[in-house]
Chains A and B, each alone.
Chain A
Amino acid sequence: MTALLEVSNLARTYDVRRGRWPFARLATLHAVDGVSFELPAGRTLGLVGESGCGKTTTAKLVLGLLPASGGEVRVGGEALPAAHSPHWRALRRRMQMVYQDPLGALDRRLSVGRQVMEPLVIHGAGSTAERRDKALAMLDAVGLAQHHFDRFPHELSGGQRQRIVLARALILDPQLLVCDEPISALDVSIQAQVVNLLLALQQKLGLAYLFISHDLRMVRQVSHEVAVMYLGRIVEQGDPDRLFATPAHPYTQALVSAIPTHGRARKRRIVLPGEPPNPVDRPAGCAFHPRCPHAVERCRIETPALRLLADGRRAACHLAEQIA
């Protein structure tokens, strides 16, 4: 069986100037550098990492919103067609995106109903009455009432707005939803509401999610598989329970230990020195080595490949076996 989404060796580079002068030397920034993963229908892949690690760029590449510099994205076995071609538009019905800030994603001048129906209008689906019925059904599916149809975004709370964004994304019956920090802008008590809704919709509609977040606990809550990114590459990938309980890559170890929790006395927090380097100045060898407490000579020279470990997960670290 082919996976719904197959990403192989995906890359995206930008040419940037070093320094502020117009004649400054050009350099290449590797925003995403050889990312591969598969996402079967009805499953969730969590993508975690710090800002600038390439999570959002990966999401945009997957949907074809950005052209890739290398590698391939296949949806349902077929390669992603060129962006904005009729074929791509048809395919985009099956893949939708949900952003972090629902108010920014909604048009404040349009009523909720018109926005939820808009994808149907764009794709020329159904009659006016059918669109309205479908939109009302969608509002019901995301836990909103009929009377929300004629409201405007500013009249609703943050959680309700994110439900509208979801209703609009789901109205074309997509198979894949790319969620870029879908709950980060919401309050704690509302986050749980939206996460439970996402899980219920997945059960009911068989949706696949590419779930991007910096909140590791929420990622564990929703994901079937997790990939950790650092400077444009996946450094560890595997089952969420195992990955968060016994992280194999030193970066994942630090990331997990940085999550503040009550009663941590048992465990020591790993405080990494320094900050993620500028992707333009990607360190040679393993990009993580300048901050890694375990780095040896080999890490400075040889870039570790993402490889299969004995317990079935993957990690890009020369020393994964020794430091586990």
Chain B
Amino acid sequence: MRALHGIDLEVRRGEALGLVGESGCGKSVTWLAALGLLGGRARIGGEVLLEGRNLAGAPVAELERVRGRRIAMIFQDPSSSLNPVHRIGRQLGEALRLHRGLEGTALEAEAQRLLDRVGIADGKRRLGDYPHELSGGMNQRVMIAMALAGQPDLLIADEPTTALDATIQAQILELLAEIRRETRMAMVLISHDLGVVAENTDRVCVMYAGRIVEDAPIDTVFEAPAHPYTRGLLAALPELEGPRRMLVPIAGVVPEPANLPPGCSFAPRCDRRIEACGHAPPPATELAPQHRVACIRA
């Protein structure tokens, strides 16, 4: 089974990139593959270049110097990413010891500073808490603190607020934006929510069935989406203001990865398809500077 079909993307220093798509489209797998986190049964082709050095197939020792330090990751469900039987302090301390070589009082001071940085008051006491003693929002703050422990250049945030309530989501996104303003850290924000991506990134890649179908600056995606799938996603979303209109759903369902249609994967659901769409997967073409789209009808 092939999960990804040739992903080409680039994250510049300090940039915020959004990755949008429905479940199973390969948003998360892209980054797990790039960081060599998929396990022995996955076969990965292509190149992953970090400042010119290829990470794909790199020895484990080299990957371990990158993971957590140069590139950190946070996930959707913070409570299951944290170890329930260890105190917060020990887990945060582990990251600081591994990535920064801190020990003793320096380690404790830095751990407290990080908790303070992510907005957890009374850090000293919190370091002694177990994850179950904190709320979901607090645990996500701890995850962010751990991700910051290695002072990464790039943070992969995989649906960081999906499990959180609306007002807590606003807090966490605000925190990430603040940290990025301070540290110039680049971020890849993976989300199924176009709104979340729109507010927090500069550029977005829309994925469908293991391919990037559109790559454009945020405003372009909302004002002049070129790929029929991107258009479909926007038409399926209700507005919060203005007159209510009938939603236009995308017909059909996402194809199974093991059973993709020949040619363009979106063709069976597409209202603009022509015969040629079924022949070969459309190549990504540049419609305008910084606007790539994989559709022969765009």
Question: Residues of A with Cβ closer than 8 Å to B?
Answer: 50-51, 157, 159-160, 187-193, 195-196, 214, 216-218, 220-221, 241, 244-245, 254-264, 269-272, 275-276
Q: Does B9 contact A (CB under 8 A)?
A: no
Q: Does B171 contact A (CB under 8 A)?
A: yes
22 sampled A-B residue pairs with Cβ under 8 A: A50-B168, A187-B23, A188-B192, A188-B194, A188-B236, A189-B22, A189-B232, A190-B253, A216-B166, A220-B244, A244-B241, A254-B170, A257-B170, A258-B166, A260-B169, A260-B198, A261-B198, A262-B198, A262-B218, A262-B222, A269-B174, A275-B135
Cα A244 to Cα B232 with chains together (Å): 25
User: Does A254 lie within 8 Å of B198, measured CB to CB?
Assistant: no
The bracket for how many chain B residues form the interface is: 35 or more
Q: Which residues of B contact A259 (CB under 8 A)?
A: 166, 195, 240
Cα A157 to Cα B255 with chains together (Å): 10
Give the most central of A195, A258, A276: most B CB within 10 Å: A258
Cα A190 to Cα B233 with chains together (Å): 10
Q: Does B38 contact A (CB under 8 A)?
A: no
Closest-by-CB residue of A relative to B235 is: A192
Q: Does B179 contact A (CB under 8 A)?
A: no
Closest-by-CB residue of B relative to A254 is: B167
Q: Which residues of A contact B250 (CB under 8 A)?
A: 189, 192
User: Does A262 lie within 8 Å of B195, measured CB to CB?
Assistant: yes
Q: Does B61 contact A (CB under 8 A)?
A: no
CB distance from A73 to the nearest CB of B (A): 27
Q: Which residues of A contact B232 (CB under 8 A)?
A: 189
In the complex, chain B residues 252-273 whose Cβ is within 8 Å of any chain A Cβ: 253-254
User: Does A189 lie within 8 Å of B170, measured CB to CB?
Assistant: no
Q: Which residues of B contact A188 (CB under 8 A)?
A: 22, 192, 194, 233, 236-237
Cα A272 to Cα B236 with chains together (Å): 29
User: Does A271 lie within 8 Å of B171, measured CB to CB?
Assistant: yes
Cα A214 to Cα B162 with chains together (Å): 12
- Main secondary structure on A side of the interface with B: helix
Q: Does B8 contact A (CB under 8 A)?
A: no
User: Does B244 lie within 8 Å of A221, measured CB to CB?
Assistant: yes
User: Does B23 lie within 8 Å of A260, measured CB to CB?
Assistant: no
Give the most central of A157, A191, A260: most B CB within 10 Å: A260
CB distance from A223 to the nearest CB of B (A): 10
Cα A159 to Cα B241 with chains together (Å): 27
User: Does A191 lie within 8 Å of B236, measured CB to CB?
Assistant: yes
The number of A-B residue pairs with CB atoms under 8 Å apart is 114
In the complex, chain B residues 161-217 whose Cβ is within 8 Å of any chain A Cβ: 165-171, 173-174, 192-196, 198-200
Q: Which residues of B contact A254 (CB under 8 A)?
A: 167, 170
Q: Which residues of A contact B240 (CB under 8 A)?
A: 216-217, 220, 244, 256, 259, 261
Cα A190 to Cα B22 with chains together (Å): 10
Q: Does B288 contact A (CB under 8 A)?
A: no
User: Does A258 lie within 8 Å of B196, measured CB to CB?
Assistant: no
Partner of A220 from the list B198, B219, B238 (CB cut-off 8 Å) is B238
Cα A157 to Cα B250 with chains together (Å): 14
Known: A188-B236, A217-B238, A261-B195. A272 touches B167 (CB 8 A): yes
CB distance from A147 to the nearest CB of B (A): 16
Cα A104 to Cα B154 with chains together (Å): 38
Q: Does B246 contact A (CB under 8 A)?
A: yes
Cα A187 to Cα B24 with chains together (Å): 10
Q: Which residues of A contact B247 (CB under 8 A)?
A: 192, 195-196, 221
Q: Which residues of A contact B49 (CB under 8 A)?
A: none
Closest-by-CB residue of B relative to A193 is: B249
CB distance from A243 to the nearest CB of B (A): 11
Q: Which residues of B contact A216 (CB under 8 A)?
A: 166, 240
User: Does A192 lie within 8 Å of B249, measured CB to CB?
Assistant: yes
Q: Does B103 contact A (CB under 8 A)?
A: no
User: Does A189 lie within 8 Å of B196, measured CB to CB?
Assistant: no
Give the most central of B137, B169, B199, B233: most A CB within 10 Å: B199
Partner of A260 from the list B167, B193, B236 (CB cut-off 8 Å) is B193
Q: Does B248 contact A (CB under 8 A)?
A: yes
Closest-by-CB residue of A relative to B22 is: A187
The 9 closest A-B CB pairs, nearest first, are A192-B249, A260-B195, A192-B236, A50-B165, A262-B198, A189-B250, A258-B170, A192-B247, A221-B238
Cα A224 to Cα B282 with chains together (Å): 44
